[in-house]
Chains A and B, each alone.
Chain A
Amino acid sequence: MQGALRVPGAVKGERGKGMSRKLRETLAAYGFLSPYLLILATFTLIATVYAFYLSFFFVDFGFTEPEFYGTKNYQLIWYDLTHNGDFLISLKNILFYTVGVVILQTILALALALLLNQKVRGRSIFRTSFFLPSLTSSVAISLIFIWLYNSQGVINYLLSLVGIQGRAWLYDPTTALPSVMLLNVWTTAPTFMLLYLAALQDIPDHLYEAARVDGASSWDILRKITIPLLRPTTFLVTALGTIGSFQMFDQAYIMGGADGGPLKSLLTPVLEIYNTAFAGSNPRMGLACAEAVVLFAVIFLFTILQRRFIDTNIQY
């Protein structure tokens, strides 16, 4: 009773100085937020605007003042794109890479999630061991796979057991990129498996029960109930997968070197941006920013296309 009486009193007291209370709350909130907002503004917001701005300038390491270039950086990119330059090669590589990796890792993630969603003993042990590759550092994994993919490495040894002649996977321009693709499917699929597992738990059981009563087979249930209901997760998984794949750098840099591996088969846009900005005797940071803007546009376009593609394929 006392508590109930107290509360209206408190509210009445507040009403008298309502404005100042609201102001105090706002000030306190900004106090809590200030470190975050400062870092966000400095290293993300300003940097984003700055990236776009710099793409119209010639910028070196900062020894000289940035020089206004107009659209010259974009013209250089256009020239590169129309004359089979490195940036075009890197975009072609990453397109092939992304389409392959996203399709394979999405299927694998879904398959693993469906398997783990079954009634199995030791589910968490399996989940843990499946998850391990996606937890560890791309650098360490790349180093390990340089060794595994070696021409005398264990992959070729295992292949020789089934009578397949191996090769130096990372030194052969036709196999270098696919080798990195497989490695990355292996490392990223488990993360997406977790998202699928979470979504599978949310599907109401009565849908399955109703389908079983109607005599649907497991395959029908998978195709007509499970996969359609997982569509939001599938969009998330493919969108995140696309964004992640387009940014591939570590593996290419470590397994192929800064010049992009055998015959530039491992040259990726981020590696090309890195090289433009930092490598060589004449750093061209403005051009690198313009390349980053183009890359961002490509990623954005892809994400929108995905949304359309996945949405228009709805069949109930």
Chain B
Amino acid sequence: MATTISPPAAQARTRTFASEDKKPPAPQRTWHVLLYAILIFYSLFSLGPFLFALISSFKTYADILSPSLIPHPVTFANYQEIFSGANLFPRYIVNSLIYAGGTAALNVLLASMAGYAFGRMEFFGKNVLFALTLAVLMIPSQLILIPKFLVANSLGLTDNLAALIVPAMVQPTMVFLMTQFLKSLPRELEESAMIDGASRLRIFWQIILPLARPAMTAVAILSFQGAWNDFLWPLIVQSHQQNYTLTVGLAFFGRQNYIAYNLLLAGAAINLLPLVFVFFFFQRYFIRGISTSGLAGR
């Protein structure tokens, strides 16, 4: 079935572009060469800084400012120094993992629950609450930064890992994403279970959740990414060094060791690699998250 549908669609899409005949005339061939040249150039422009930084993180301090593409000599000393007892780096990494992992797990569960109510149930106040969710997406987070800090502070949520996780454990964006997905599932799924008298909780757990796996993966990845990259909130709520996340630790490290670019790059690489890795395996979820929620920016 799928094969009978996709070729016309693919063809229709290509119809919008220049070439329709088998061998394109000369100006089109030049255009194609130019097109690929631009695409390759921009790819280098995109990936270059990361690759170059990653490679250079194996350079020595003396070599770090040389523009050579290959470290000479290759050294692992930067990484060794970062992971040595003198720094709290391992601690920062663990903190970041707890923050990002905890936020992701809780968002998957709690945003699915909220999304289930919004997407598949009829109840008093639904429209108002969903409109509120959409409205909240428009509030710049910096507007409420200080009161959010004061509220967290009065709840005892400062200078601990809960201060990071609790305010972020179920986010309007993720609720919106889950709602949109769960809405799209066919009605009939729950009907027979409902007639048989299954409770809402049971339907949610046994029927909806197993079907929601793609959306749950998107929520998990996007909330992990958000927390892993978060900087301002951890900077504000954590005052003791052992509670810093990797981003905060790196920022202060960057300040103190202003010229120690070799260590700086090794630290940056440690911050970048997990996400890059996750991205290459799950990129369609990142892309889906952005195109369904329409939410972007940083």
Interface size on A, residues (CB 8 A): 104
Residue B296 at the chain A interface, CB threshold 8 Å: yes
Most buried by A among B67, B132, B142, B236: B142
Contact yes or no, B228 A137, CB < 8 A: yes
Residues of B within 8 A of A218 (CB): 18
Residues of A within 8 A of B67 (CB): 154, 157-158
Least CB distance from A232 to B in Å reads 10
- Would A7 and B195 be within 8 Å (CB), given that A192-B296, A270-B142 are in contact? yes
- Which residues of A (39-55) have their CB < 8 Å from a CB of B? 39-40, 42-48, 50-51, 54
Residues of B within 8 A of A228 (CB): none
Q: What separation, in Å, do the CA atoms of A25 and B50 have in the docked complex?
A: 52
What 0/1 pattern do residues 238 to 252 of B give for CB contact below 8 A with A?
000000000100110
Q: What separation, in Å, do the CA atoms of A163 and B78 have in the docked complex?
A: 33
Interface of A is mostly: helix
Contact yes or no, B117 A29, CB < 8 A: yes
Residue B204 at the chain A interface, CB threshold 8 Å: yes
Residues of A within 8 A of B169 (CB): 35, 39
Contact yes or no, A135 B275, CB < 8 A: yes
Contact yes or no, B47 A148, CB < 8 A: no
Contact yes or no, B200 A28, CB < 8 A: yes
What 0/1 pattern do residues 105 to 126 of B give for CB contact below 8 A with A?
0000011011011100111111
Residue A246 at the chain B interface, CB threshold 8 Å: yes
B284 to A, closest residue via Cβ: A124
Contact yes or no, A51 B297, CB < 8 A: no
Residues of A within 8 A of B195 (CB): 6-7, 10
Residue A106 at the chain B interface, CB threshold 8 Å: no
Contact yes or no, A205 B15, CB < 8 A: yes
Residue B225 at the chain A interface, CB threshold 8 Å: yes
Residues of B within 8 A of A187 (CB): 298
Q: What separation, in Å, do the CA atoms of A40 and B126 have in the docked complex?
A: 15
Residue A112 at the chain B interface, CB threshold 8 Å: yes
Q: What separation, in Å, do the CA atoms of A187 and B140 have in the docked complex?
A: 20
Residue A100 at the chain B interface, CB threshold 8 Å: no
Contact yes or no, A253 B251, CB < 8 A: yes
- Would A191 and B16 be within 8 Å (CB), given that A270-B142, A292-B145 are in contact? no
- Which residues of B (24-66) have their CB < 8 Å from a CB of A? 35-36, 38-39, 42-43, 45-47, 49-50, 52-53, 56, 64-65
Residue A278 at the chain B interface, CB threshold 8 Å: yes
Q: What separation, in Å, do the CA atoms of A112 and B42 have in the docked complex?
A: 9
Contact yes or no, A257 B52, CB < 8 A: no
Q: What separation, in Å, do the CA atoms of A190 and B287 have in the docked complex?
A: 11
A sample of 6 cross-chain residue pairs with beta-carbon separation below 8 angstroms, ordered by A number, consists of A39-B169, A46-B151, A118-B18, A203-B16, A244-B298, A285-B146
Using CB atoms and an 8 Å cutoff, list the residues of chain B in contact with chain A.
12-19, 35-36, 38-39, 42-43, 45-47, 49-50, 52-53, 56, 64-65, 67, 110-111, 113-114, 116-118, 121-126, 129, 132-133, 136, 138-155, 166-167, 169-170, 172, 175, 195, 199-201, 204, 225, 228-229, 231-232, 236, 247, 250-251, 254-255, 261, 264-265, 267-269, 271-272, 275-276, 279-280, 283, 286-287, 290-291, 294-298
16 new A-B contacts, CB < 8 A, other than A32-B116, A32-B121, A135-B276, are A28-B199, A33-B113, A35-B114, A39-B169, A39-B170, A43-B167, A125-B43, A134-B298, A146-B264, A153-B65, A188-B297, A194-B287, A246-B140, A273-B142, A274-B236, A285-B150
Q: 9 nearest interchain CB pairs?
A: A244-B297, A29-B123, A137-B229, A50-B147, A36-B114, A191-B296, A32-B117, A47-B144, A26-B123
